Amino acid sequence: MLKGKLVSVRTMEAADLAEVKAINDDPGVRGNVVGWGWPNSAAEMERWHAGSQGGGTHRWIVEDDENRVIGVTGLWDVDWQSRNALTALKLGGVHDVRGRGLGTDAIKLVMAFAFYDVGLIRLHSSILTTNRASLKAYVDKCGWSVEGTSREHVWRHGKFVDLHQVGILKQDFDRLPDAEDYITLVTGRP
């Protein structure tokens, strides 16, 4: 369990799957994330959960301060040689939680864990150029950089949308004014 300033992050359990499905099915999530999938049945969710945890895939639940399941995050494609991984974040479902700083807190917490516990030196992701909230959270508030743009890469909302490739190095994270707060939260070091 990782405890941030506003949210906590913990491993995903089978008991979370109904809430994870609600997050995946939330139109505010479905329309804004890069990956697209058919809506899943409960049985498909169970197969998905059993199938690929561990190895390079680490899916986590985000909880708010009332221990409600409000999101999904994690590390994917962990590359031990190059010490990088993909990360992503979805907040939503039955609770109205977006736009209150919870995403920024979760992103900083995952970065501190990835850089100061796991030992990675780079994280990467991709963001639809139409996703203003995600760009604001990752790039403006959490120190990520747009490293390139794939033109008309994703079919979303009835049209092709450009996709920003985004990334952050450990040294970029270290320059955030509150980096030390998050390193302390993750490592317990004073």
Ligand X SMILES: CC(C)(COP(=O)(O)OP(=O)(O)OC[C@H]1O[C@@H](n2cnc3c(N)ncnc32)[C@H](O)[C@@H]1OP(=O)(O)O)[C@@H](O)C(=O)NCCC(=O)NCCS
Chain contacts with ligand X (rule: CB under 6 A): 28-29, 32-33, 89-92, 98-104, 127, 131-134, 136-137, 141
CB of 132 to ligand X, least distance (A): 3
Complex with ligand X: residue 140 or 180, whichever CB lies closer = 140
Complex with ligand X: residue 29 or 186, whichever CB lies closer = 29
Complex with ligand X: residue 91 or 120, whichever CB lies closer = 91
CB of 55 to ligand X, least distance (A): 23
Q: DSSP class of residue 40?
A: P
- Please answer whether residues 1 and 12 qualify as being in contact, where contact means their C-beta atoms are separated by less than 8 angstroms: no
CB of 90 to ligand X, least distance (A): 5
Complex with ligand X: residue 47 or 100, whichever CB lies closer = 100
How are beta strands 84-91 and 145-156 bridged, if at all?
unpaired
Instruction: Select the residue whose beta carbon is closest to ligand X and give its number.
Output: 103
CB of 167 to ligand X, least distance (A): 13
Residue for token pair 């990467």 = 124
CB of 33 to ligand X, least distance (A): 5
Beta bridge partner(s), residue 107: none
Q: Is 93 helix (H, G, I), strand (E, B) or coil?
A: coil
Angle between helices 17-25 and 42-52 (to 10 degrees): 110
Distance, in Å, from the CA atom of 74 to the CA atom of 97, rounded to the nearest integer, reads 18
Distance, in Å, from the CA atom of 159 to the CA atom of 178, rounded to the nearest integer, reads 39
Complex with ligand X: residue 71 or 119, whichever CB lies closer = 71
Helices H / strands E in the chain, number of each: 7, 8
